[in-house]
């Protein structure tokens, strides 16, 4: 079915998810497993406690090793064992502030880690398709306020953004040199800012709201008037899965697609915080963070017409629905519910709508 995640496509598929211990990787892994895919993971251990990977007991239900992406022999061994048909590459150093503190490790992981993975994959005979997840921040952002389309120039002010833009160029090189010749689709997906239950990372807005609520203090905001293309994690992951389906079945040959909300209704960081705190029942509010803050763009929006037209993909959880779904997950955690059941129920409900 056009525009929908198709369980019949994924049933029985051998899928390698890198970064499967992370926030988006955990949602992706659980969704794939619920459709009958045989999922193998390749990632570092979860970096936070708590984390969705453990809360949803994904660690008990997935094969694969904990492996540093730049361990080329370790990566090659995991790929040899799993012999994947499809690869969804999410492993990365994903945080702007961390990239400012440690740019070398950020470039090493995001660029050379991806290059090493593709080098290990390029001669796999069972391989049917590879999707490399980058970011909405790959574009050269001159703060003009226009939504970025896939053909806009790449850039990146901070090391994280630049490393992802460099990854895009590296992937393009591997696509043209190796994967097109082999007839294997290789593409990149540029997702917007994702919110959803199970994110506990540092320096990300929803977990920062949750931690501030737990501590009974106002959340500190670096750039409260900055706008971002916020979308729920299930909408973003659905876009990735639909993209893979279309690539493998030959229904689309686009080498990259944006995935995000409609660009016509920007939401500021402060607006998101107020709405999320209301949904959580939190009353602490927010304050402006003082001191050093790494440079961040104040405006960012994506033009996702190509994904809508080419895949029939749409966000289902837009605006208040995304905030409500996110808040409900954290409230269930506060009630000590079984978070595997909660997360699977959210995936099932999303798939029915």
For residue 48, what is the DSSP state? S
Question: Would you report the helix, strand and coil content of the chain in percent, each value rounded to 5?
Answer: 45, 15, 40
pLDDT for 346 beyond 90:
yes
- Going by pLDDT thresholds of 50, 70 and 90, the confidence category of residue 2 is low
Rounded-to-integer distance, Cα 150 and Cα 216, Å = 42
Q: Cα(205)–Cα(199) distance, rounded to whole angstroms?
A: 9
Whether the pTM exceeds 0.85: the reply is yes
Residues 6+ apart with CB under 8 A from 336: none
Residues of the chain with pLDDT > 90: what percent? 81
Measured CA to CA, the distance from residue 100 to residue 305 in angstroms comes to: 32
Of all residues in the chain, the percent with pLDDT exceeding 70 is 97
Closest by Cα among 210, 249, 206 to 230: 206
What the chain holds in terms of domains, given with CATH numbers, is 7-198+231-261+302-317+340-352 (3.40.50.720)
What digits encode the pLDDT tens for the residues 5-55? 999 999 999 999 999 999 999 999 999 999 999 999 999 999 899 999 999
């Amino acid at each position: 079915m056009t525009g929908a995640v198709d369980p019949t496509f994924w049933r029985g598929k051998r899928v390698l998810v890198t970064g499967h211990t992370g926030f988006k990787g955990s949602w992706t892994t659980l969704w794939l497993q619920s459709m009958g895919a045989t999922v193998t993971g390749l990632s570092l251990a979860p970096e936070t406690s708590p984390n969705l990977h453990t809360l949803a007991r994904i660690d008990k239900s997935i094969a694969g090793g904990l492996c540093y992406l730049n361990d080329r022999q370790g990566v090659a061994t995991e790929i040899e064992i799993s012999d994947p048909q499809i690869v969804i590459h999410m492993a990365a150093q994903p945080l702007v502030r961390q990239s400012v503190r440690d740019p070398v490790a950020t470039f090493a992981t995001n660029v050379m880690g991806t290059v090493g993975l593709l080098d290990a994959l390029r001669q796999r005979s069972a391989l049917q398709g590879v999707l490399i997840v980058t970011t909405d921040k790959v574009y050269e952002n001159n703060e003009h306020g226009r939504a970025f389309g896939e053909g806009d120039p790449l850039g990146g002010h901070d090391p994280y953004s630049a490393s992802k833009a460099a990854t895009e160029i590296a992937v393009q090189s591997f696509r043209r040199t190796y994967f097109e010749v082999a007839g294997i689709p290789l593409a990149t997906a540029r997702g917007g800012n994702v919110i959803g239950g199970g994110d506990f990372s540092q320096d990300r807005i929803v977990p920062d709201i949750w931690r501030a609520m737990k501590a009974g203090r106002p959340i500190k905001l670096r750039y409260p008037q900055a706008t971002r293309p916020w979308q729920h994690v299930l909408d973003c992951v659905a876009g990735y899965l639909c993209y893979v389906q279309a690539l493998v079945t030959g229904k689309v040959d686009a080498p990259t697609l944006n995935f995000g909300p409609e660009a016509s209704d920007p939401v500021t960081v402060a607006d998101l915080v107020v709405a999320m705190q209301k949904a959580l029942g939190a009353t602490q509010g927010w304050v402006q963070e003082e001191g050093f803050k790494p440079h961040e763009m104040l405006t960012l929006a994506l033009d996702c017409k190509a994904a809508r037209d080419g895949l029939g993909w749409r966000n289902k959880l837009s605006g208040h629905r995304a905030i409500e779904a996110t808040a409900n997950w954290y409230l269930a955690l506060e009630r000590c519910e079984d978070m595997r059941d909660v997360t699977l129920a959210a995936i099932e409900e999303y798939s029915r709508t």
